[in-house]
Amino acid sequence: MKLFCRILIPLISLVALVLLGGTNVLADVVVECPTWSAGPGSPINYTGGTFIDSNGDGMIRADDSEITAPVSDTQVCLHLAAGDGLVNMADGREQYMFGFANATGTPNSQVLNVFMEGAVFPAPTIKLKQGDDVYLTLTNVGMNRRPDLFDPHTVHWHGFPNASAVFDGVPDASISINMGSSLTYYYHVVDPGTFMYHCHVEAAEHMQMGMLGNLYVTTAQDGTSFEYPVSSGKFYTKFAYNDGDGSTGYDVDYPLQLAAFDPTFHDASFNIQTLPFANMDDKYPMFNGRGYPDTVKPLGDLPLHNHSTSSPVSTLMTPTAGDRMLIRISSLSTTSFHTIGIFGLKMQVVGQGSRQLKEPYMTNSITIGGGESVDVIIDTAGTTAGEKYFVYATNLDHLSNDGQDYGGMMTEIQIQ
Amino acid sequence: MIYIKRQLEDSCLILLTLLLSLVPATGWAAIQGLSGTNFNFTASSGQISAADGDDVFFWGYGVAGQRPQYPGPTLIVQQGNTVTIRLSNRLPQNTSLLIPGFKVQASGGVAGQITREAPAASATEAVYSFVADRPGTFGYYSGTNSDLQVEMGLIGAIVVRPTGFDAAVPTAYGDARTAYDDEFLFLLSEMDPEIHHAVEIGTDPVATTGFHPVLWFINGRNAPDTMAANNVTWLPNQPYNAMPSIEVGKRLLARWVGGGRDHHPFHTHGNNFDLIARDGYLLQTTAGASRQASEMGTVPDLAVSDFTQNVAPGGSYEGIWSWTGAELGWDMYGHSGTEVGICESGPTPATTIDADGFDVNTREYCVDHGKPLPVVLPNAQQLTFGGFYSGSPFLAAEGSLPPGEGGNNPNAGYAFMWHSHNEKEMTNNDIFPGGLMTIMIVNAPGM
């Protein structure tokens, strides 16, 4: 009997494995950007359509004529790769990270090779239009530097109204994608506003490790001209919200996302040690993935960095004197609240939580916790070219890159 | 070998029991608490169970003659009533009770710095009396050595019902702008077990300046215990559940109270809420007008829509939350569109579509009726499944799941995580997941 069990059990297991392996694809990179094969009424071709990001905006859009035979005029296709990578802090220190990269347009067969260990921080900015039908494919390329990890990943569109559970990206409540495979999320984008996105798998870990980015939606009202204030002679065609009167109109907008790294946590992850959740203590506070002075530098001007392309986003703001600026502030800090202030300019808060505020208000500081977003308008009327204004965390201990002072959560508005 | 096998069997049983106990029943009492006008409390010490398995020594308010509890009893009282709380004390130091938001008359006991106190280890009562002159959600907590005693667990919540409250058509503030179908309390707090240990072994005085919380709570429980039912036997001193659920399209009133000393950004997955009141004051202009929120229907005119509420220490907030599924772009039930009696546009058969475009029975958004899921989901081998996933992307539908997956969502509702977005607070003393987190389940009508 004992011998029988010893032989039979492995045999059954082996047969089961072969059967399973033989009948199912275990992993596959598949981008779903569906197309009609002919006219309406014909079957949808979910994969294998023809599309190319011809204008280089990081997404495939039907209204940019980048999709042959799209399923709708407002179809948008995006492809994110999720995995690991290395990034430099502003003091040059190398940090291991988990993150996303924009794989849109890369042939399926090359995605694993190209994006393995290719994560960027912050995650690629996703800028959409109200009314878009978004097909966002997420491919899990695995953790090249942590082959002991088999973590799945998700995309959580933070703040999506009336989200369905299956596309909300919470692993406990739905599905997450395993290594080597792809999952396509669908969003019918109804509301404009400032949102954010991040991976929700083991959220405290994956977010501290860097799986987060900017996401915002421009309005259906964009393109319509409003004079604001009435009889001011100032006209706007871009708006934070569908305000109906131009009151959230802007000339130039900047996403500004707060997040921070705890080097002890990142080093523990890299060195396969127990992760210090309770002691999580951020030492690298950042705007859009960089600490000052990197925040104001172009990509090519990061001499301390071996991995400069891992943090490609500059947060230098360069409005022309007189411009009305919109700053889309969001926080994905995993540890603390922050207060953001500006020297010398006034802030008008026109929105929060991806909705227009009924009563906008003036302020000199914005306090924002993890998972909150605030839309701030700054009127640069009265400034002159060459002037410089600082945007910074008034939590002054967050103005550092670990031990290095005059760093952290700070950037500049340089008037042109 | 037999011993090990038995151990395994026991473990399986325990796991099964745990899983079953986590399964949310429908129709759980929304906010459990004590009703009336006169309450007798005793402050005493006990143990609470943290979800990492730790027992934490605590001080709590409890009904006189019963166990202390964390948090203290939730009091549900009527606007206009005079509410009296008599407090006796078995703790080794004086204690008391503050009810910010009301003019409290304190008597009895002994004089304290802020209010009358119930003396240490004594039957002498301190008596706190106030007129609940306005509706809303409020906190209460110790006014004696508060920095330590609040940390130790001497906190609780009070819900004041508006004048004329009718449980059949409930409102938070007495009018349709604040009407709701279900209500839930979220009393948020945190603890540093080191402080509790120091108190337990008799250290006096205990330093609280090194405060370093590693446990985070909703209604006195860490996730996943937040999702266990009210009054489960294994949490004798933590009676309150914190797992909300609601039907599609119904209005949920969330009552948040900041019970500790830290701010917590509380994120509602699934949809925005409309913040309708702070600290028991409606967000309205003096004219008191109402407006139509995109989802929630009528709300006070200064209500603010958001997806994350900053719950500050000592603050309270009320939000109306709803989930309609409008404009998903696909049929949330996976209907083919040929079903009889659903989203009928009339006149024959008679219309089933209401003025907002929803089917009167299924509550689905009829514009999306019959639209297919726009993507093909990967096969099971490529996916990791959550315990609250029904196996199907569709509401109220079960799909096939690998053995051992799913199981926590028997009505196949849509599950949304509600949690602190200071993500480190979703842990239990270094163990993820846990902490200040729960799951909100949106069910199909009648489920």
Q: B403-444, pLDDT tens digit by residue? A: 999 999 999 999 999 999 999 999 999 999 999 999 999 999
State the count of interchain CB pairs (< 8 A) between A and B. Answer: 223
CB contact under 8 A, B376 and A46: yes
User: CB neighbours (10 Å) of residue A310?
Assistant: 24
Quick one: CA dihedral A22, A23, A27, A29, positive or negative? positive
d(CA A372, CA A391): 18
The answer to whether the CB atoms of B386 and A359 lie below 8 A apart is no
CB within 8 Å: B383 and A161: no
- Average pLDDT (A216-234) is 97
pLDDT bucket at A26, cuts 50 / 70 / 90: low
pLDDT tier at A27, thresholds 50, 70, 90? confident
Q: Which residues in chain B are contacts of A176 at CB distance < 8 A? A: 383-384, 386
Cα dihedral B52, B54, B57, B58 in deg (nearest 10): 10
Tell the residue number behind the tokens 């190319």, with chain if given.
A52
Instruction: Name the residue of chain B whose CA is nearest to A157's CA.
Output: B269
B426 at the A interface (CB within 8 A)?
yes
**B13: its two tokens:** 């049983």
**Residue B423 forms contact with A (CB below 8 Å):** yes
Closest CB from B382, B423, B430 relative to A370: B423
Contacts of B394 (CB under 8 A, 6+ apart): B331, B332, B333, B334, B373, B412
Q: Residue A110: phi, psi to the nearest 5?
A: -100, -10
> Is the per-residue pLDDT at A68 higher than 80?
yes
Q: In terms of Cα–Cα distance, which of B185, B300, B298, B315 is closest to B261? A: B315
Any A CB within 8 A of B133 CB: no
pLDDT at residue A40 in the model: 56
A82 dihedral zone (left: phi>0; alpha: psi -120 to 50; beta): beta
Q: For position A413, what pLDDT does the model report?
A: 98
Q: How far is CA A129 from CA A171, A196, A223, B403, in A?
A: 27, 15, 12, 41
- Residue numbers in chain B where pLDDT is lower than 50: 1-29
Domains and CATH numbers, chain B: 34-321 (2.60.40.420)
**Nearest Cα to Cα of residue A321 among A229, A239, A252:** A252
- The pLDDT of A287-297, averaged and rounded, is 98
Largest CA distance in chain B: 79
**What confidence tier does A38 reach under pLDDT thresholds 50, 70, 90?**
low
What is the side-by-side strand order in the sheet with B136-141? B34-35, B75-78, B155-161, B136-141
The CA-atom distances, in angstroms, between A264 and each of A208, A269, A282, A307 are 11, 9, 9, 20
Nearest CA-CA distance, residue B235 and chain A, Å: 23
Q: Give A339-395 pLDDT, tens digit per residue.
A: 999 989 999 999 999 999 989 999 999 999 999 999 999 999 999 999 999 999 999
Q: What's the full length of chain A, in residues?
A: 416
Dihedral angle computed from the Cα positions of residues B331, B335, B340 and B346, in that order, rounded to the nearest 10 degrees:
20
**Global pTM value:** 0.93
Q: Closest Cα to residue B253, out of B318, B169, B327?
A: B318
Q: Under a CB-based contact definition with an 8 Å cutoff, are residues A162 and B328 in contact?
A: yes
**Interface ipTM:** 0.93
Distance, in Å, from the CA atom of B30 to the CA atom of B230, rounded to the nearest integer, reads 10
| pLDDT value for A12 | 47
